[in-house]
Amino acid sequence: MPDIPATLKTYQAHIDGKWVDAASGKTFQTINPYTGEPWALIPECDKEDVDRAVRAAARAFESGPWPGMTQTARGRLLRRIAALIEKHAQHLAEIEVRDNGKLISEMHAQTKYLPEWFNYYGGLADKIQGAVVPVDRPDHFTYILKEPVGVCGFIIPWNSPLMLAGWKLAPALAAGCTVVIKPSEFTSASLLEFMRLVIQEAEVPPGVINVVTGYGAVAGEPLVTHPLVSKVAFTGGTLTGARVNELAAKTFKKVSLELGGKSPNIVFDDCVLDDAVSGAISGIFAATGQTCIAGSRLLLQETIHDKFVEKLVAMAKTARLGDPSLPTTQVGPVTTPPQYRKILGYIDIAKGEGAKCVLGGGPAPAAEGGGTYFVKPTIFTGVENRMRIAQEEVFGPVLSVIKFKDEEDAVRIANDIAYGLGAGVWTQSVRRAHTMARRIKAGTVWVNTYRAVSFLMPFGGYKASGLGRENGMEAIEGYLQTKSVWINNGPGGGNPFIMKTAS
Ligand code: NDP
């Protein structure tokens, strides 16, 4: 480990309402991806810390103020959290940028929008209700209860830590669950700041939300396998997601997974060309391509291919790379060194496969004052859908352009992939918009827009892009159990040797 500069900020984990060091006393450095310099020390938690956090969450779930709180009061608490996020949105965004290198304009938009999740699920908290069922037995009164699943373990990636944690936290709290969060080792700081500025100030009871920091295998796995955890919500890579799913299955936990994507952005020749060019650019180069919904496969109808590529390259060329904390910067650094190496590796793979690099194609010179993890916005044409550059998630500013003939061909190419997270369609035909929306196997289809999300709209993947849905009414179900209650108001209990089926 390099020498620790004296100015490093020191963070602690948050367990049972207290700030604590890792039991081992170990820490690791977190790096500012723009400068390449360490800026804070993070506790390196392990199994022992995870166990403490899960036990605290289990206690808070069973006793104390949390289970005694009415659903209406929980709703009020969520709205208080929303107001505090709003108050600290700028600071939280700055911390995100320092830790993950994404643009301040995007991070601030995220932290300003995040309160809506807590307002929405705060409103929903006291609308979670069971039902009375007119069961087919005389003298029986039967009803359905909706109960919180219990302790939830959240595993969060580095690309949008606060937003992706908030998507899980708001419905979980509304349902009455308690939570242990393990952020990515690369970006722990924003969640710890969130605990200090928002959760403590909102007076969320101790143990209801805990944050343990550390490495995936060391702190993440014990959370997934802990017998007191009832639900795991994971966002990250597909391979890690498969392992998490496998581990969680051993103790029959509920699991939701938001995984990778290789989303097709499909442009028909009847589109508004300039809109589609902007949509293609923002689909892949916003967030330096480090987003699960990146429109990384650009499917162009052959009749407009050359004209479109010309406009695309001309616009992409103007991208301003640089300091992500400046509002004028359009493309920031790659967040982690392994991700940087992975992106450059895929650029070599694409060249080796015979794709034609028409823009970028390698590391970008470090911006002034910046470190070295910049990749030039890169566009490959002549990509065949069977190539690795078309099939595998790069998670960087690398666009693969694939030609198609007609609607049928576009659907075939779009669906010929292991993933199914998002898709874009650019057309002015109403018929085509609805037909494509139905035929594409993806959790979200955007028509004449791209990368739009809302607390109101379910989000999640088909196929290898995940299980379950976040956001909207559907998300709350993932944090609830259903219990059937039978009350016999009649005489006796019936024949003890015969199951009481309908007569
Ligand atoms: P990972 O899937 O490796 O990490 C996501 C989270 O899982 C992190 O908190 C990580 O911790 C944790 N983790 C890692 N291994 C385990 C494990 N065995 N058990 C439990 N938790 C674990 O993603 P990366 O951050 O490394 O990114 C790799 C790829 O994932 C990207 O290239 C991209 O394809 C995809 N990705 C997808 C995202 C999405 O939104 N769908 C978001 C981010 C990445 P730690 O960071 O400490 O390893």
Q: Give residue-wise pLDDT tens across range 12-37.
A: 999 999 999 999 999 999 999 999 99
For 449-494, what is each residue's pLDDT tens digit? 999 999 999 999 999 999 999 999 999 999 999 999 999 999 877 7
pLDDT at position 440: 98
**46-259+465-484 and 264-447 have identical folds:** no
Q: Is 292 in the pocket of ligand 1 (CB under 6 A)?
A: yes
Q: What is the rounded distance in angstroms from the CA atom of residue 85 to the CA atom of residue 78?
A: 11
Task: Give every strand in the sheet of 140-148, ordered side by side.
Answer: 131-133, 140-148, 480-488
Cα→Cα distances 312→174, 269, 284, 318, 361, Å: 44, 15, 12, 10, 15
Closest to 472 in 3D by CA, of 124, 150, 164:
124
> In terms of CATH architecture, what is 46-259+465-484?
3-Layer(aba) Sandwich (3.40)
Specify the pLDDT at position 5. Answer: 61
* pLDDT score for 365: 82
Nearest CA to ligand 1 atom 16: 216
Exposure string of 209-233, with b = 16+ CB inside 10 Å and e = fewer, is: bbbbbbebebbbbbbbbbebbbbbb
Task: Out of 45, 177, 271, 292, pick the active-site residue.
Answer: 292
Looking at the domain 264-447, which fold is it? Aldehyde Dehydrogenase; Chain A, domain 2 (3.40.309)
Asked if 245 contacts 467 with a C-beta cutoff of 8 angstroms, the reply is: yes
Domain map of the chain by residue range?
A: 46-259+465-484, 264-447
Residue 131 φ/ψ, nearest 5 degrees? -160, 155
Q: What is the pLDDT of residue 2?
A: 46
CA of 201 to the centre of ligand 1 (A): 30
Q: Supply the residue whose CA is at minimum distance from atom 22 of ligand 1.
A: 216
pLDDT confidence of 1, banded at 50, 70, 90?
A: very low
Q: What angle do CA 486, 492, 493 make, to 5 degrees?
A: 45
398-404 vs 209-211, strand pairing mode: unpaired
- Please, which residues have CB within 8 angstroms of residue 189's CB and are 6 or more apart in sequence? 9, 11, 30, 40, 42, 95, 98, 99
Separation between Cα atoms, residue 353 and residue 120, nearest integer Å: 47
Asked if the model's pLDDT at residue 503 lies above 80, the reply is: no
| Test site for ligand 1: of 240, 290, 335, most ligand atoms within 8 A of the Cβ | 240
How far, in Å, CA of 86 to CA of 92, rounded? Answer: 10
pTM of the model: 0.95
List, in sequence order, every residue forming a beta bridge with 399; answer none if it has no partner. Answer: 379
| Annotation says 177 is catalytic | no
pLDDT for res 457: 98
Looking at the DSSP assignment, which residues form a beta bridge with residue 10? 41
Q: Measuring CA to CA, which residue among 81, 102, 43 is closest to residue 172?
A: 81
Report the pLDDT averaged over residues 419-442.
98
